[in-house]
Amino acid sequence: MISASVLNEWYPVAMASQIRAGKTRETLLLGQPITVTLTGDAVTVQGKSGPLHVCEHYGHVWACPGTPAHDLFPIPEAAQPGRRLVDVGVVRVKCSPLRAVENFLDIAHFPFIHTDVLGAEPHTEVNRYEVAIREESDEVWATKVTFYQPQAAKSAAGGIVQPLTEELCDVWPWMALFDDTTPQAELIAFQQMIFLQDRSILENQIPRLLPLDPGMEIPTQADLTSIAYRRWLKRRGLTYGAQMVAA
């Protein structure tokens, strides 16, 4: 049984450009089969028991299987003039969708997983930074983060995660950056390189579901953002892909 707080959120289910080009995407959302397709001029998402709520933002089609609790969150960078949006393409990852999101929040892994790109040995220390759950926007924010990054200039980026099941997700690495000179293929290659370095680690993390309470994992100062994220998930009841019993 999936809780209403999970069902009433927005989830990415397709690249808008591909659906607009006439491709139909048969996929899963929260374990249920859905079909994303173009009907006349409108993108529709059909579930087993009827159509889902749909919107298009940031190059993606988003669907809500319940009753939307709110509009889709804003990404102000996407609307900034001069930013170049890059379609990096979908990558499937055998991990909890929550772990895939948490990966984008983690700083400490840079020198070990993205060696000589987003970090480098021996510069592995995570300096003190600040984390807050901003009540007005209902978001987790990390600020005053400083880290030694040999080649991060191109990577003003994150990822958009579609929860297929509790242990499987489709991820679109996503970029909006100020760069008018680097060829598109190079930007895509850079971002795919970064994310695929993460993928092999994500697929090996245990327990498979994301534990929301400390147990076998002992968080440290460097994990501040992850801890805030997990607390926020717990408070919001966003437990699809989470392990509720301390491991």
- Which of 5, 32, 165, 192 contacts another protein by CB under 8 A? 192
Which range binds another protein by CB under 8 A, 73-81, 143-151, 189-197, 216-224? 189-197
Whether the link from the prior residue into 207 is cis, omega within 30° of 0, is: yes
Nearer to another protein, 9 or 170 (CB): 170
122 binds another protein (CB under 8 A): yes
**Cβ 211 vs Cβ 247: under 8 Å:** yes
Task: By CB under 8 A, tell whether 6 contacts another protein.
Answer: no
How far is residue 14's CA from residue 43's CA, in Å, rounded to a whole number? 10
| Number of residues located near another protein, criterion CB under 8 A | 30
Q: How far is the CB of 125 from another protein (least distance, A)?
A: 8
The answer to whether 183 contacts another protein (rule: CB under 8 A) is: yes
Applying CB under 8 A, the span of 114-122, 134-142, 150-158, 216-224 interacting with another protein comes to: 114-122
Stretch that binds another protein, among 2-10, 101-109, 199-207, 210-218 (CB under 8 A): 199-207
Contact yes or no for 207/217 (Cβ under 8 A): no
Smallest separation, CB 159 to another protein (Å): 14
Task: Compute the distance between CA of residue 109 and CA of residue 198 in angstroms, rounded to an integer.
Answer: 9
Six token digits for residue 33? 């089969």
- Which amino acid is it at 175? M
Which residue in 60, 99, 199, 230 binds another protein (CB under 8 A)? 199
Residue pair 121/150 in contact by the 8 Å Cβ criterion: no
Gap between the Cα atoms of 156 and 158, Å rounded: 7
23 binds another protein (CB under 8 A): no
Distance CA 71, CA 89 (A): 25
Q: What would you report as the CA-atom Rg of the chain, rounded to the nearest whole angstrom?
A: 18
Closest-CA residue to 16 (of 60, 57, 79): 60
CB of 202 to another protein, least distance (A): 11
Please report whether residue 138 would count as binding another protein according to CB under 8 A: no
In the complex, the smallest distance separating the C-beta of residue 134 from another protein, rounded to whole angstroms, is 33
Residue length of the chain:
247
Q: Per rule CB under 8 A, is residue 186 in the interface with another protein?
A: yes
Minimum gap (Å) between residue 186 Cβ and another protein: 4
69, 78, 85, 196: which one binds another protein (CB under 8 A): 196
Give kind and range of the element (H or E) at residue 89.
Answer: none
Among positions 87, 106, 179, 217, the unique one binding another protein when judged by CB under 8 A? 87
